[in-house]
Amino acid sequence: ALKAKATRHAEFVASATAKSGLLRRFRSATFEKFVATTKPQRHAVTTSRDFAAAAQPGDWATLLLIGPPGTGKTHLAAAMVLDVIQRGQRARYTTFRDLIRALRATWR
């Protein structure tokens, strides 16, 4: 029974990750792999980890990661998505640009 449950969980994780919107290179991003060298980065890791841990099915919440290129926003977003998926929930990664495009497409 435990082996079957582990197999179902692994299949769910693989399927949900494939449908998550994450680029392949970010599908192994974790909070532990994020190198936080500044106080703001350490704060971002803590905030992101707490946000992911609080995610519950049916509850909608938003966390915007804003900053210049190369500061780790995508890595942290991917880590949040993967953390939620590992806990058995679906999650989706999107950029603000893609979100606006999707909204504009509904106006046609």
pLDDT value at residue 108? 73
Q: What is the pLDDT of residue 64?
A: 87
pLDDT of amino acid 53:
96
Please tell me the distance from the alpha carbon of residue 77 to that of residue 95, in angstroms, as a whole number.
10
The confidence score (pLDDT) of residue 57 equals 87
Q: Which residue's structure tokens are 């880590």?
A: 79
Instruction: Supply the pLDDT for residue 21.
Output: 95
List per-block mean pLDDT (blocks of 10 residues) for the chain, which spans 108 residues: 94 97 95 94 96 91 89 96 96 91 90
Q: Which amino acid is at 60?
A: W
At 81 the pLDDT is 97
pLDDT at position 59: 86
